[in-house]
Amino acid sequence: MSTLSDLLTAQNRLGETDIEWLHRVHGDGQLLADLASADIVIWGQTEDDSFRAVGHVRPSGASTLFYRDIVGEKVRPQWQRQVTDAFDSGVIVDSTSPEWFEETPTRVKAVPIVRRDEGGTAVIGVLTRHTNLGEVRAPSRQQHTFDECADAIFGMIATGDYPDVTAPMGPRRGTPRAADGLIRLDVDGVVTFASPNGLSAFNRIGFVDELEGETLSDVARKVLPAALDASADEASLPVLLSGRSPWRSDVQARGVTVSLRVIPLRDHGQRLGAIVLCRDVSELRSQEQEILTKDATIREIHHRVKNNLQTVASLLRIQSRRTSSEEARESLLQAMQRVAAIAVVHDTLSEGLAQNVDFDEVFARVLRLVAEVAAAQNTVAKTRTTGAFGTLPSEYATPLALALTEVVTNAVEHGLAGREGEVEIIAERSEERLSVRVRDTGAGLPEGRVGRGLGTQIVRTLIQGELSGTIEWSTTSGTGTAFDGGTGVDINVPMRWIK
């Protein structure tokens, strides 16, 4: 399914600023759908001056009219005139009488989406509200308040006053919705309505009386003294809860965390009051803190493992310098290099929250280890990497880094032994497979066959056993380059476990 950006870009009628504005409107689509108890559809104008649905949100507390996805469809004939009039006139167009949609009586309201900036205002799309009249009952006081709030926001959308570009943005788990708790304020910040969930949220942080009739900023002073002591400037909590400016944050008291969002309501610039959405997110924030603590612990473990591996590598290097046997010295240096390659992966894992690594960065560091081997054997080896490995989970990164270290080291030690040459690493990645080809300008495979040394056994075990992949050695030919006659190694690893 195409995203809102894809659909709008394909229609090629809006700029980046317009698309971002529509994203902000669509981001509050669930709030509008829940307040209005109706389906919300966002329409973008097409090249033929018709309209196509680019966004749709169903209400969570009422039946939807659209059981099949409407996104991507052109506006239906019965709505064409209403949507067009709203777009052309820049004013809200309400249906004059109920309409039928698939045997269901409905009412449609078309709201022009107006973007406001320093240069003025412009209509960039249309939002339609589709109300199912087949389930209309006598509205409760809560539903009546929700309808008023929805109408106020629709009016602000039509004048370019909503969304507020100064409002806090960004995805955050636990952002309160209308059903989580809604408090309506008048222009003086006095509570005129508090839903049961909204009242419960404030009860949990210490306010035991009725909220209606109270000034919400005064309530904050009573139940959140610690927050007030830390907020002595003009942006203190009581000022924010007066409803004069948009705000989103968490407040804590008595071991309870409540997420608050303030949405000022205006009519052509004139303040009408505000909506305060609230939600008890104590359990959610506790889980997030546990995850952060565990992530920090895992990163510290990776850091310590890296340090220990580097210590082992240093000991192996020291031991190799003290030994008199050339064979023993080479074995110790190879062991040092293998340990150092694993340490590089753990070092990368210790720097981020995710247990994934940028393998291109890891491999660049691994190649520096190989350069040390080449220098120690008076070999001038130039390495070149083309393509990209991308991001890999740690269970892939460690065996792959170790295997490639062995392959490239073999190319330097044996293929280019004592002379100048080049080693090329080509990485190609698709959704199904990671393919790596390593080739050198060396002397090729001795007697045309792969050796049976420890390094070859390690590589086979890592690629075939741990990564369920395949590896093949061959003598390169037919390329018409300096690599003809050298050794080529082809590694293929399935990506089916990577998400």
**Residue 229 pLDDT exceeds 50:** no
Q: Give 120's pLDDT tier (boundaries 50, 70, 90).
A: confident
Q: Is the dihedral of CA 477, 478, 483, 489 positive or negative?
A: negative
What average pLDDT does this structure show over 451-462?
A: 78
Give the chain's mean pLDDT: 83
Mean pLDDT of 397-421: 79
Please state the length of the chain.
Answer: 499
DSSP 3-state helix, strand, coil percentages of the chain (rounded to 5)? 45, 25, 30
Q: Is the pLDDT of residue 484 over 90?
A: no
Has residue 233 got a pLDDT over 60? no
Number of domains the chain is built from? 4
Q: Which of 8-17, 167-176, 339-348, 357-366 is least confident?
A: 167-176
Give residue 187's domain range: 178-280
CATH number at residue 435: 3.30.565.10
Dist CA 387 CA 364 (whole Å) = 13
The answer to whether residue 494 sits within a structural domain is: yes
Same domain for 85 and 153?
yes
Are 69 and 120 in a shared domain? yes
pLDDT at residue 377 in the model: 59
pLDDT band at 231 (very low <50, low <70, confident <90, very high): very low
Q: Find residue 137's DSSP bridge partners.
A: none
Q: Are residues 378 and 266 in the same domain?
A: no
**DSSP conformational letter for 244:** S
154 and 12 housed in the same domain: yes
Q: Are residues 182 and 287 in the same domain?
A: no
Contact 373, 411 (CB under 8 A): no
Two structure tokens written together for 446? 């001795």
In a domain, 103, yes or no: yes
Q: Both 33 and 131 in a single domain?
A: yes
CA angle 359, 365, 368 (to 5 degrees): 145
Q: Are 450 and 471 in contact (CB under 8 A)?
A: no
Domain end marker among 353, 373, 405 = 353
Q: Tell me what pLDDT residue 227 has.
A: 47
Find out whether 493 and 400 touch, Cβ atoms under 8 Å.
yes
Helix/strand/coil for 485: coil
Tell me, what CATH number does 273's domain have? 3.30.450.20
Distance between CA atoms of residues 370 and 333, nearest Å = 11
At 96-107, the pLDDT tens digits run 777 777 778 889
CA–CA dist 113, 61 (Å, integer):
25
Tens of pLDDT, residues 10-67: 766 788 889 999 999 999 999 999 999 999 999 999 888 899 999 999 999 888 888 8
Instruction: Identify the domain boundary among 304, 320, 353.
Output: 353
